[in-house]
Amino acid sequence: MRVSTEVADALADGRPVLALESTIFTHGLPRPRNFEVASEAEEGLRSAGVVPATIGVVDGEPTVGMSSDEIKRLSEDDSVVKVSQRDLPIAAAKKLNGGTTVAATAYLAHFAGVRVFSTGGLGGVHRGASETFDESADLGTLAKVPIVVVSAGVKSILDIPLTLERLETLNVPVVGFRTTDYPGFFVSDSGYDIEYRVESAEEVAAIAKQRDAMGLTSTVLVANPVAADKQLDPELHAKVLAEAIEASHKAGIIGNDTTPFLLDYIQRETGGKSLEVNIEVYRGNVALGGQIAKALLAS
């Protein structure tokens, strides 16, 4: 693993660092918005006094703190692969370029000593998992990596109540940022509740500090909803989601093809509105993650 000089120096000096994933610009957003959003996130953090640590795999080398040139290169690479935690040794041996998922990013961030990671939406339990056993590797990793992860819940295309049940079983604490309504990524309220809320970045830092003192090893998961005035219209969201699921069944879409099919359908049928919500979600989570990174150092 390679840690950039900027990130290594910040960690050594006790300055705040925030980990960022790379699948958002390798697989999640269209060109050229993908590079623009990734660059904007890094610039915003630096202006707030936080060092960005964008994580990806470059020519087989897991990298914590990608350069702007490396981000641009991967954002334009048609052959870039999606790398989860299990794929890291394969990508390394084959010298691949890879965008890291939540699982791989969280693992590499912790391995490098970065304590906070902001993403968009988590992976979770898929609809129909009682028959397919389709569950994201993100959940298993979050149960074993003691960092703080900020997300806007899980994508609404997933089985949200079962995902929350799995997080409980895996002993992953979930707190809502100024809410007990669990967010559904495109919408601020998925319709499901969580037990605890926090009011500030400092309160998140206090929870993480207590977790560490108790020797617990799971992620503190912060659910940060998109602002109500920035969300996808809930009625439109429910309608298009139902149509997307029905279309996937008719087309015989299964396995790893399901998520990209559903998200692409939703983007088309909302006239690109879901894409703009996706970007707003990410901006909000990056900003909050930066605040938490600062609060952790002050606690």
Phi, psi of 199, deg, nearest 5: -105, -10
Task: Work out the angle at residue 257's Cα, subtended by the Cα atoms of residues 85 and 70, and round it to the nearest 5 degrees.
Answer: 50
Signed CA dihedral, 51, 56, 59, 61: sign only: positive
Same fold, 1-114 and 122-299: yes
The answer to whether the predicted template modeling score (pTM) of the entire model surpasses 0.85 is: yes
Evaluate whether 116 touches 147 at the Cβ level (below 8 Å). Answer: yes
pLDDT tier at 251, thresholds 50, 70, 90: confident
- The CATH superfamily assigned to 1-114 is Indigoidine synthase domain (3.40.1790.10)
- The CATH superfamily assigned to 122-299 is Indigoidine synthase domain (3.40.1790.10)
Using a pLDDT cut of 70, give the percent of the chain over it.
97
Domain ranges of the chain: 1-114, 122-299
Q: What is the CA radius of gyration of the chain?
A: 18
pLDDT of residue 254: 72
170-217: per-residue pLDDT in tens? 999 999 999 999 999 999 999 999 999 999 999 999 999 999 999 999
Structural tokens at position 61: 């080398």
Give catalytic residue positions: 21, 155
